[in-house]
Chains A and B, each alone.
Chain A
């Protein structure tokens, strides 16, 4: 069996089995750790064997519903590699950090399930399969917020779910539509991404298909104005779900733009690019400024996350090799930093029983290690040099200046936006006099350190030696800019 299939299905199958057998939650945690560690090791092997070329690697294809040309087709390239790696690295670390807090079986089963779903989305090369995994990864999050969330969780999880399913339906319509069009033109059904590229659509058709896909992706990312589910959902979601959503699922939305739209509707994407650059830039500034007045820590991080994802969208639609690489790099960099920050926000809540920024403070005095990591990850979001975010932002800004000088200046505001709220938040949470909530704040425990140190080291390594990591993305990114442009000029 192919390594990629194991990566996708091992967690899913384990989760399903665990769902049906009644065993103690501690056993489930152990099984969770074993499975996610195996996945992490397998992806490490994948990373080592990964060749720095632009084409798909480790491909696997089986006929599935041959009547309609639906195949089980998976493969990995430079862009999906980053997401696969992040998913594999984060899941065991999250579990290490949280294992004492969560004693519900469902929590861990759902997390396992969602890991498989995310792997599936990132690796699918067949649109039907892609859609299937896209829906599969939603379900566990829905359940997790509903069962383990905070506040007005039932309303919020329903809203999130309906919102997302609405987007997915639009995508399904688009998928079916192009499959039918393919049947008309080539007399056979197919959902294969690389075959569907040959489809010839009229401009109106392409715009419609594009919009169908884009609504689904825009909601998932989210970009303005599809963001109103975001801050409430992040606020209500339990830590594990928030990490999955912000660090992985939101990134999948951006990734899908590249994987699906840039592959299928390259020309249309080029044509509408400037709208999305505008929306992305607006979102970058809009979300950043919105975050300034937030008093709830997780809401602030949610908006901060949205702001950076808008930047990722800008980087993609600039269609420049620097922008594409920068955005792919930012996807990974931001995944680590935001996962760590949400994780630490969870720890903060567990200790102080509050997410209210104003009632925190003085943590640096009582918990220096916690403060060190918290400040480090917050600063890495701001993009200080020697962190991964800095490299990514420099590349995106470079791409933007390559595209157009005014877009360049607007994109360069990214180095100003995040600090508008981040620094004040750091001051209010960590510094000053200890408040009632933080008097007895316990410093990081050993297992939490074990979870956070690898993330911090990875952020530093990606910031100091970016060339080593970027070499894996570069060939794919180049093939999407240089090659395609030449192709169009012919």
Chain B
């Protein structure tokens, strides 16, 4: 009983605060910023506390929380209940989604301070948490899809948050449209799944129970289409194009939605459907390769980006690629573990970027922000720790999570994937430290316009600690751990035999290579102006021309088709022929008007003709009768 209420409060607290802020904001009465802050923080804070409690009990007592809200639809077999269920996987998601959301809320109160749209921002922000919880807690894929689309919608609204510049809203449009292309796959997959086994119920348990009733080709198709949805939401090749543009939104949005939570929904979805992907192993492998390509591609592109947020955006794509590689070879909990640590260190890096952007009057180009270490020492330290973490330096958290992925790729006999991952990981070090060295280890060029706000520093400090220590949750055996998280999640992981000697060897080689790249980056960028000399032409600097390609093969043909349909077919072909019918009637009318002209002489003539014809007819008739 109380458990139901807990789950309901968890879900409804952010919704309620969003509604209240919305009403205050739309009423246009003067409202103190503090009131908004209070409402926003109480909504997200309450749910964060409950989330921690739920994950705590789930972890230690294996407790299952279920709350049945209402029946969404019930037509024949199609019964969709709005049921919240916090099993191990959902509790795990809550464990980082809710606290990180709360921390970024605190950060945002500083970042958005005195913004004229403060209320609107927190309406969206709290609504986002609501949809994210719905996504994570839903007990069936249809309600998950509602949450899935909901977070996409909020993401759209927040990317275009500063709508005075219409380009920002175009970036939002792009994000929503590209995501919807993925959702097209997701929805189709769900519908196919329902057509196949919907009669047995549509909760996850029921679906997985009946999976064996589906034939293999259909199952592969469903698995593939589901992954198309994940591709869109988690910005993988070829649907990644929206994420770099999404950086048009305020930085807390990038930190929360486009780094820590929403973009990981694709990972969650594939992990949720682990029983399906375990059967459809061909699709799983496809996922691994898409992930690998995305990881490498994004890491390469990031080495030639100059916008501090875009570097981090490509980095997110790349890290998500790592997770998909792990999912693809069947190591679900390993992927989730990396997602867990990623939420902290990427959130931290974005917050650091945001703090720099605020401190230096909304400059984002690292070429203009060189040598700022003395101006923002605390941010420097935290950003440095974040960068070391993402580079997988031991013993920071990503060292454990990323090396676990590498180890699994190695052990699963996909050496090509392993080398892709290794290469991407080295590029990661390079682009991260290119950024760090340019930002902090150069001649000073700018002075800060504003000192950083305290409410922005505290959450960053907490995330720094989490980035450092989160790896403890899933320590591998060789460091005396016992993979606690993996056993808690209890997903259908594939297990690979992997000797400790190999593992240690791999880790050492990896770490040495990383240190080497780090040194190379230092030599190349620190206290030099190499960054200014980089050419902005060429394949990498232009992101492999993929945006231009999409423009050329999708957007332009669509507009041409629109012109063709509307002008040529509708107007010239159909409408003109219909109008010409009417026109011909008019001409016919003119012809008759010539005869019906009102002159008595003409009518006398017609009578005469009529009479003559009548007589001829009578004559013929009589003749025939005789």
Chain A residues whose C-beta falls within 8 Å of the C-beta of B75 in the assembled complex: 321-322, 325, 395, 470, 474
- Establish whether residues A430 and B563, one from each chain, have CB atoms under 8 Å apart when the complex forms: no
B574 to chain A, nearest CB (A): 5
Chain B residues whose C-beta falls within 8 Å of the C-beta of A290 in the assembled complex: 562, 565-566, 570
CB < 8 Å: which of B184, B563, B570, B571 contacts A415? B184
Chain B residue nearest in CB terms to A463 = B146
- Knowing A322-B78, A409-B188, A433-B164, the reply to whether A292 touches B562 (Cβ < 8 A) is yes
Q: Which bucket holds chain B's interface residue count?
A: 35 or more
- Establish whether residues A415 and B183, one from each chain, have CB atoms under 8 Å apart when the complex forms: yes
B166 to chain A, nearest CB (A): 4
The residues in A between 385 and 442 inclusive whose CB is less than 8 angstroms from any CB of B are 385-386, 390-391, 394-395, 397-398, 400-402, 405, 408-409, 412-413, 415-416, 419-420, 423-424, 426-428, 430-433
- Knowing A423-B177, A427-B169, A430-B163, the reply to whether A412 touches B191 (Cβ < 8 A) is yes
- Establish whether residues B142 and A384, one from each chain, have CB atoms under 8 Å apart when the complex forms: no
In the assembled complex, the Cα of A413 lies from the Cα of B183 at a distance in Å of 10
- Establish whether residues A289 and B70, one from each chain, have CB atoms under 8 Å apart when the complex forms: no
- Knowing A290-B565, A431-B169, the reply to whether A415 touches B559 (Cβ < 8 A) is no
B79 to chain A, nearest CB (A): 10
CB < 8 Å: which of B173, B558, B566 contacts A294? B566
- Establish whether residues B180 and A415, one from each chain, have CB atoms under 8 Å apart when the complex forms: yes
A364 interface residue, CB < 8 Å from B? yes
- Establish whether residues A386 and B70, one from each chain, have CB atoms under 8 Å apart when the complex forms: no
Chain B residues whose C-beta falls within 8 Å of the C-beta of A188 in the assembled complex: none
Chain A residue nearest in CB terms to B561 = A289
In the assembled complex, the Cα of A432 lies from the Cα of B169 at a distance in Å of 8
A298 to chain B, nearest CB (A): 15
- Give the secondary structure class of B's interface: helix
A286 interface residue, CB < 8 Å from B? yes
Interface size of A by CB at 8 A reads 61
In the assembled complex, the Cα of A419 lies from the Cα of B194 at a distance in Å of 26
- Establish whether residues A394 and B173, one from each chain, have CB atoms under 8 Å apart when the complex forms: no
- Establish whether residues A405 and B169, one from each chain, have CB atoms under 8 Å apart when the complex forms: no
A227 interface residue, CB < 8 Å from B? yes
CB < 8 Å: which of A228, A427, A465, A466 contacts B170? A427
In the assembled complex, the Cα of A424 lies from the Cα of B559 at a distance in Å of 13
- Establish whether residues A467 and B71, one from each chain, have CB atoms under 8 Å apart when the complex forms: yes
- Establish whether residues B191 and A398, one from each chain, have CB atoms under 8 Å apart when the complex forms: yes
Q: How many A-B residue pairs have CB under 8 A?
A: 145
Chain A residues whose C-beta falls within 8 Å of the C-beta of B173 in the assembled complex: 423-424, 426-427
B149 interface residue, CB < 8 Å from A? yes
A66 to chain B, nearest CB (A): 39
Chain B residues whose C-beta falls within 8 Å of the C-beta of A402 in the assembled complex: 195
A162 interface residue, CB < 8 Å from B? yes
The residues in B between 66 and 85 inclusive whose CB is less than 8 angstroms from any CB of A are 70-76, 78
Chain B residues whose C-beta falls within 8 Å of the C-beta of A140 in the assembled complex: none
Chain B residue nearest in CB terms to A420 = B558
In the assembled complex, the Cα of A408 lies from the Cα of B225 at a distance in Å of 13
A454 interface residue, CB < 8 Å from B? no
Chain A residues whose C-beta falls within 8 Å of the C-beta of B574 in the assembled complex: 225, 227-228
Chain B residue nearest in CB terms to A363 = B163
In the assembled complex, the Cα of A168 lies from the Cα of B506 at a distance in Å of 79
The residues in B between 133 and 191 inclusive whose CB is less than 8 angstroms from any CB of A are 142, 145-147, 149-150, 153, 160, 163-166, 168-170, 172-173, 176-177, 180-181, 183-184, 187-188, 191
The residues in B between 388 and 445 inclusive whose CB is less than 8 angstroms from any CB of A are none
Chain A residues whose C-beta falls within 8 Å of the C-beta of B165 in the assembled complex: 432
- Which candidate, A18-26, A47-55, A199-207, A365-373, is the interface stretch facing chain B? A365-373
In the assembled complex, the Cα of A167 lies from the Cα of B412 at a distance in Å of 68
In the assembled complex, the Cα of A303 lies from the Cα of B566 at a distance in Å of 10
- Knowing A428-B166, A432-B164, the reply to whether A397 touches B570 (Cβ < 8 A) is no
In the assembled complex, the Cα of A426 lies from the Cα of B142 at a distance in Å of 28
- Knowing A293-B562, A391-B73, A420-B558, the reply to whether A432 touches B166 (Cβ < 8 A) is yes
Enumerate chain B interface residues (CB-CB to A < 8 A): 26, 28, 70-76, 78, 142, 145-147, 149-150, 153, 160, 163-166, 168-170, 172-173, 176-177, 180-181, 183-184, 187-188, 191-192, 194-195, 558-559, 561-563, 565-566, 570-571, 574-575, 578-579, 582
Can you identify 12 A-B contacts, CB atoms within 8 angstroms? A228-B575, A286-B565, A292-B558, A361-B166, A385-B147, A385-B149, A398-B194, A415-B183, A416-B180, A432-B164, A466-B72, A467-B72
